[in-house]
Amino acid sequence: MRHRSVVVGFAGKQGQEYLPILHRYTDVVGVVDIAPDASRLAGRLGLPFFDNLEDALACLDFDVALVTVPHQTHFSGCRALLQHGVHILKEKPFAVTEQDARDLVKMADAADRSVYTLVQRNFNPAFDFASRNLHRTGEPYWFAYDYHINLAKMTSGWRADSDKALGGVMLDMGYHLVDILAGLFASPVSVRAAFLHCYEEMRRQGLEDLVSVYFSYPYQGFAGTLCVSRHNHEKVERLTVLGTDGSLEISPTEASLYSPGGTRVAGVTVTISKEAMVDRMIARYLRHLDDREYRAKHFARQLSTVQVIQRAYESNEGGPDAHPRPSVLANAC
């Protein structure tokens, strides 16, 4: 029997991306959004429209919700859905704080419902190759994960509003990267972060434009770094892992395993589209809605990811009340 679903936050970029795929696997019985043009868009799609989740829960019969909303409304929306016995597929983050993450897991377990996070890299063949071939590097001793996009102007929309975003690039872009690291390595024992700003407006709101993080781990001789930014000259994503017997280099389009001398001994080139990866992700989650073991593993990994991100924010010494940036140029007047 096909699931009946609702999309909460359907009018945004992610909601529009996910909606056709959800149609493929479920009967979409309604959509929810507060955007000014959401009602018109729902009418064009021929779907029942609600401007608040409470009315949708009261009027519709559904067992799955796909949630893609600004960060500050994630927890309250998920709580309401779980109280009505609804499974959830949600945009990252799983939660903003560790306490919210633990509470969400407790509510999901009590309701015997799943809450799956839409983290697409887990369904990318390049990152799957890295997971399956990590052991071939011997004992890893270092990694570097860099992810930069090339916004030409200050970020806009709800991500520029601290009350809605609740964090900058670490919580938003960085969530995907920390989730990948949580799948490859044990939890770090130390997380030290520096949060930096391209724009003074972002500094005043405490929404970092760049974060650089150093991780140390419970076993000696292993550490790593992560760097994420919005305003690089080019868009780039690369994870490098060095081990005693070789190294890995992974991007969203390719992964390679190298010998200690630099010979490429194995690899994969990604030939499937992003839409196909998203399709694979949503289909997998829908198949495992009632799989308690799969659910528990997902919860454990997401809890680890949220913990690391919270520790990064707690370690940052230059918060939003730090002094305005002076010139750092050697010949500044």
Model pLDDT for residues 116-134, shown as the tens digit of each residue: 999 999 999 999 999 999 9
pLDDT of 57 higher than 90: yes
Q: b/e per residue, 52-79, with b = 16+ CB within 10 A? A: ebeebbeeeebbbbbbbbbbebbbebbe
Q: How far, in Å, CA of 77 to CA of 252, rounded?
A: 31
DSSP 246: E
pLDDT given at position 1: 78
Helix axes 98-111, 292-315, angle to 10 degrees: 170
Average pLDDT over residues 135-145: 97
CA nearest neighbour of 68 among 38, 32, 100: 32
Tell me, rounded to whole angstroms, the distance of Cα 67 from its chain centroid: 13
Q: How far, in Å, CA of 212 to CA of 199, rounded?
A: 17
Sheet of 140-150: strand order equals 190-196, 210-216, 223-229, 140-150, 231-243, 246-251, 254-258, 264-269
Q: How far, in Å, CA of 227 to CA of 223, rounded?
A: 14
pLDDT given at position 282: 97
How sure is the predictor about 219, in pLDDT bands with cuts at 50, 70 and 90?
A: confident
Average pLDDT over residues 258-275: 96
The β-bridge relationship of strands 3-8 and 231-243 is unpaired
- Output phi, psi for 219, to 5 deg: -115, 140
Average pLDDT over residues 201-217: 96
CA nearest neighbour of 163 among 67, 53, 71: 71
How sure is the predictor about 319, in pLDDT bands with cuts at 50, 70 and 90?
A: low
CA nearest neighbour of 281 among 54, 38, 90, 62: 90
Average pLDDT over residues 163-183: 96
In the chain, the amino acid numbered 86 is V
How sure is the predictor about 328, in pLDDT bands with cuts at 50, 70 and 90?
A: very low
SS3 256: strand
CA nearest neighbour of 226 among 259, 283, 256, 188: 188
Average pLDDT over residues 190-198: 96
The percent of residues in the chain predicted with pLDDT above 70, rounded, is: 95
Q: Are 97 and 124 spatial neighbours (Cβ–Cβ below 8 Å)? A: no
Q: How far, in Å, CA of 137 to CA of 1, rounded?
A: 45
pLDDT given at position 333: 37
Q: How far, in Å, CA of 81 to CA of 288, rounded?
A: 18
Q: What is the pTM of this model?
A: 0.93
**Cα-based angle 174, 138, 143 (whole degrees, multiple of 5):** 25
